[in-house]
Amino acid sequence: MANAKVWKNVAVAMQSAIAATIAITTITKAAEGVVTTSAAHSYVAGDIVFIEAQGMYQVDQRVARVKAPSGSTFTLEGIDTTNFDTFVSGTVAKVTLGTSITTATSISSSGGDFDFIDTTTIHASQRSQMPGLPNSATFTMDHIWDPSDAGLAAMKLASDSQGKRVFAFTFGTGGAKMYFAGYVGASLLPGGQAQALVTTNTAITMNGFPTYYAS
């Protein structure tokens, strides 16, 4: 039976810093892919990294947790690369998730819907199809409007600079986590109605696939 989650005690963290990139030489195809970098790294287990890749497009724009780091290798915790395409080139960078978004009052998601590819042959008596590529996903959040809030100010800065940011959603203390990267839209225009909260909204458009962890 599924462990039901409630939008309560959900922490939203945004990238506050990203380290210099390190070139990747290989990513293995395995139950958990192993990354080899061109130089020794200083990653420790549990670090969050952002990957850009060619060839193995399934890990391009992907956020992952570091597992079993050693010298110039580490494992992509929880990412099964067995059936991924062959890695050609790419980079990895450690991300610091030091900005907390604490003003959100609601959140909704959209997109992520799949195109369908027609696989019907001339011999078939009915049409068949398979999922193609999903379209980009977007999270839209309503916030309590407070231009002095550090989290909202950071989202506005990311929006103004059209800078990509890594995000983490944590569902309860020590609970399930979702990591992803995307672009932020935040004008911080106030809205609302008489005798109600002054609110504003933001949007985050996801790049690549999200990564999920049970804890």
**Which candidate, 152, 163, 136, places its Cα nearest to that of 50?**
163
Instruction: Give me the number of domains the chain comprises.
Output: 2
Q: Say if CB 134 and CB 114 are below 8 A apart.
A: yes
Alpha-carbon distance of 94 to 139, in angstroms, equals: 24
Within this chain, do residues 137 and 169 fall inside the same structural domain, yes or no? yes
Sequence-distant (6+) residues with CB within 8 A of 202 are 140, 141, 143, 152, 155, 159, 184, 185, 186
Domain that holds residue 191: 99-118+127-213
Within this chain, do residues 61 and 157 fall inside the same structural domain, yes or no? no
How confident is the model over 169-189, as pLDDT tens digits?
999 988 999 999 999 999 999
How confident is the model over 191-212, as pLDDT tens digits?
999 999 999 999 999 988 999 9
Within this chain, do residues 103 and 42 fall inside the same structural domain, yes or no? no
Confidence of residue 70 (pLDDT cuts 50, 70, 90): very high
What is the pTM for the complete model shown?
A: 0.93
Within this chain, do residues 79 and 111 fall inside the same structural domain, yes or no? no
Within this chain, do residues 103 and 205 fall inside the same structural domain, yes or no? yes
- Work out the percent of the chain whose per-residue pLDDT is above 70: 100
Within this chain, do residues 22 and 86 fall inside the same structural domain, yes or no? yes
Q: Residue 4: its pLDDT value, please?
A: 85
Within this chain, do residues 145 and 179 fall inside the same structural domain, yes or no? yes
Residue 2 lies in a domain: no
Distances (CA, A) of 171 to 1, 58, 139, 191: 18, 25, 16, 28
What CATH number does the domain containing 76 carry?
Answer: 2.40.30.180
Within this chain, do residues 87 and 176 fall inside the same structural domain, yes or no? no
Residue 11 lies in a domain: no
Q: Residue 173: its pLDDT value, please?
A: 87
Residue 108 lies in a domain: yes
Residue 81 lies in a domain: yes
Cα-based torsion angle of the residue sequence 14, 17, 22, 27 in order, rounded to the nearest 10 degrees = -10
Residue 129 has pLDDT above 80, yes or no: yes
Q: Determine how β-strand 114-118 pairs with β-strand 129-134.
A: antiparallel
